[in-house]
Each structure stands twice: as C-alpha cells, then as structure tokens.
Amino acid sequence: MGKIYNKNTFLLLFVIAAISLNLRLGITSVGPLMDSIRTSLSLSNAQASLLTTVPVLCMGIFASLATVLNKKYGSKFTLILMLAVLGLATAVRGFLPGFSTLLITAFLIGLAIAVLGPTMSAVIKKYFPGHAAIAIGISTFFMSMGSAASAALTGIFFEVSDSYMFALAIWAVFGLFGVLVVAFVLKTGANSKLPKQNVSEVKYNFPSPWKQFTPYLFMLFYALQAALYFSTITWLVPMSVENGMSMIQGGMLLSAVMSVQVIFNLLLPIMMEKYPARRNWIYFILVSGTIATLLFWTGDHTLMWIGAFMMGIPLGGLYSAALMLPLDETVTADGANSWTAMMQTGGCILGGLFPFVIGFIYDGTQNHNYTMSILLAIYASAFILITIIGNKKEKNYDDYIVKPSDN
C-alpha cells in the first residue's frame, strides 16, 4: 500500500471541501428568512416549508441518477455539471422574484445535491478505502461550515439589502468556486497522481442493495436524521421569534446549532474509527438531542441557548453516522455509491416530508408544542432503530467473488 498522505491527497481533500461547502447552502439559507419570505409573498406556513421540503424530496428521488451519470460520464464531469446547476439555480433567485421561482430553483438545488452526495461517497471510497472516516469528516465539516455561515449571515444580508432575493442569491458564489476547483484541481483518469488504493484486485458481484435487508434499516435511519435536521433548520428561527426573539437573534441561535454541528461532523467519524462501537456513540448523540429539544421547549431564552448548543450534537453526529453506515458495509466504490444512493433515495423522501407536515400542523394549531412532540418522537424512533442495527459486523464476502474464466 502506497503512501496515503501527500500533496495530491491534500489537493483531493481540498476538492472535497469545496464541493461540501455547497451541499446545504441552498436549503439552510431559507430557514432564517422563512417568516420574511412568507410575509412578502403572502404564503401559508405549509407553502413556505415547501422551499425546504422540495429540495430534500429531490435529494431522495434523484439520488440514483448519480450511479447512471458516474458510469456514463465519470465522476469529474458529474461533479462539475451538478455544481454548475446548483450555482445557477441559486443565482437565479436574485433576479426573478416570486414563489414559483423559489420552488423551481429549490427543485434544481435538490437535484444537484442528490447527485453530488453519492458521487462524493464513491470518490471517497475509491481514494480513501481504509481511511474513509477522515474524508467523511472533512466533507461534513465543510458542509456544516457552509450551513453555519448561511444561518448567521443570511439574516444580516437581508437586513442590509432589505431583499430576501439578494440574501438567497449571494450564496451562488460558492457554486462557481466549486466548479473552478473541480475543473482545475481534480485530476482523474490514467494520468492521475491521486493516491488511489486498491484494497483488493478481487472482483465482486454483489446483489443490489434493494434486494437486501440491511440497507432498508440504513434508509430508515437516514430518514430520521434528515427529518431532524431539515425540520430544525426550517422551524428553529420561527419558533425562536414566536418565543420573543428577533429574526437576527433567531438566526444567531441557529448559527450556534450549526457551529456545534461543525465540530461533531468532524469529530464523530474520527472517534468512530478509533473506537468503533458506533451504537454507543449514537446513543449519546440521541440523548443529547432529546435534552436539547426539552430545553428549547421551555421557551426560556437562557435555556434555549443552552439547548441550541446541545442541538448541534445530533444534527452533526447523526449525519456523519448515517454516511458511515454504507461505507462500513461495502468493499468497493460502486457498492458505496449504490448503497448511499439507495439510503438517500428513501431517506430523503421520508425525512423531507417532515418540515411540510410541521408547517401544515402549525397552520391549523398555531402551536409549536406539536413541533416539539414530533421531534421527540423522531429521537425515540431513532433510538429503537439503532438498537436493531447495532455495531459494525465483520463479514465474509468470499461467496460474492467473481472467479476468473478458464478460457
């Protein structure tokens, strides 16, 4: 096995970081402006929540497209194409007003993220097969950095410009940055000097993840973490405003959540690699999230701030844990791609419905107590599910080896 960490490795990690910055900006930038957009366009809470729900549903519906595009055009072209779509869709929000524009661009943003996620997993599995946790940690760290920045600054951009259109569109610069980085830094093909590591020259013929039981458990787990993440970033600021905070204060509260998320996105994969009892780590994360939700439910501003910092633990940790699950269970890049795509497909479709459901219930009740009850129910369900999944299990893949032909 060759040297893992060298100049080319760090260039690849830089590419991963540049892509990851874009993976949530088009969604998390909506949360701080939810009330402003709803008021400006005369929308109901359910309608406004579609700006989060639609891209998350697209992340699920189109995840399998990543496998098709990667096989036909390669990972580099796929990454450039999807980053360009993401950046252009975000930029359009600054030029064309209206709810229809926001919905169409939300669709395109979700489509792009749907393909970028599994493609990133395939790249990580290919070049970091024995050190996937480090690359996952880098990816989720910079994705969370983008989320934290958008949570903290989107409201400020709105206050300065008095335009939700500008506050949403400004994040397109990171899409352009990602396109340039992938185009000029990522070198693939026969002449690539990237530290590709072949775990084995043995070829495998694995059944589709859709025909196996374990991937469905991973899909449900991903759905629960997606429900928690996107429901929180959609409704945390409106709930804060309802409890007497200003929009800027609510945005800073969400930024606190995202900041802690940054730490756990990076820390948890490393700790899970060093101490691989993943079930115990996830128990700790779920308990932290449950306590955070209860603190936020009190409506006391001091306790809400404490709860916000604690809430960053599950929002960061559960996503990293979910990404690690298919990487632990597969031995090839194609396998990681297909398992991740399947997990994201069903997971985002199921989890992405929750922000809309919460908005619909709030329209009818004008009471966020139901929101908190839903979040607590999700934590309880995740606790039961990870108990069933358990820790990583060593498996024998010999039955799937493709034997060479005698001809």
Higher pLDDT, 157 or 275: 157
pLDDT for 333 equals: 66
**To the nearest whole number, what is the mean pLDDT of the chain?**
82
pLDDT for 192 equals: 55
Domains of the chain: 7-187 (1.20.1250.20), 208-391 (1.20.1250.20)
For 206: left if phi > 0, alpha if psi spans -120 to 50, otherwise beta; the answer is beta
**What mean pLDDT comes out for the span 5-26?**
82
Distance CA 58, CA 394 (A): 34
208-250 residue pLDDT tens: 788 888 889 999 999 999 899 888 888 888 888 888 888 788 8
- Predicted TM-score (pTM) of the model is 0.77
18-62 residue pLDDT tens: 999 998 888 888 888 888 898 889 988 888 889 988 998 888 888
371-380 residue pLDDT tens: 889 999 999 9
pLDDT for 303 equals: 93
Distance CA 296, CA 177 (A): 37
Q: Which residues pair with 401 in a beta bridge?
A: 204
Nearest to 62 by CA among 44, 96, 85: 85
